[in-house]
């Protein structure tokens, strides 16, 4: 197992630094969102995306969709919006 925190730039071989952690790809309308860690090379500016290993997805007990534990279930939020009831 290699150290997941250490990414080397494929361009110049320098160590890349984590620029954005667990960035959600796609929109809230996608059933399953994909989180990535964005690494940037300080030397040449190259940016690489890696599948986030820290974002542990949770499964919604209501609709079964997987989403980040940091946010409310996007599917249920949409369902609530379309059902005519207030989101709160
Ligand atoms: Zn580089
Ligand atoms: Zn849900």
Ligand nearest to the CA of 60: 2
Whether the per-residue pLDDT at 55 is higher than 80: the answer is: no
**71 CA to centre of ligand 1 in angstroms:** 33
Domain spans, the chain = 7-83
Q: Give the whole-angstrom CA distance, residue 31 versus residue 20.
A: 23
Ligand nearest to the CA of 47: 1
Of 45, 34, 37, 35, nearest in space to 10 by CA: 45
Whether the per-residue pLDDT at 78 is higher than 60: the answer is: yes
Q: What is the residue-averaged pLDDT of the chain? A: 81
pLDDT grade, residue 58 (50/70/90)? confident
Q: Give the whole-angstrom CA distance, residue 10 versus residue 38.
A: 14
**25 CA to centre of ligand 2 in angstroms:** 18
pLDDT grade, residue 9 (50/70/90)? very high
């Amino acid at each position: 197992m290699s150290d997941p925190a250490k990414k080397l730039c494929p361009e110049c071989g320098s160590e890349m630094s984590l620029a954005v952690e667990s960035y959600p790809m796609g929109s809230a309308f996608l059933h399953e969102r994909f989180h990535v860690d964005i690494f940037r090379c300080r030397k040449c500016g190259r940016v690489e995306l890696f599948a986030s290993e820290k974002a542990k997805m949770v499964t919604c007990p209501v609709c079964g969709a997987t989403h980040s534990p940091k946010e409310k279930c996007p599917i249920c939020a949409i369902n609530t919006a379309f059902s005519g009831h207030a989101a709160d």
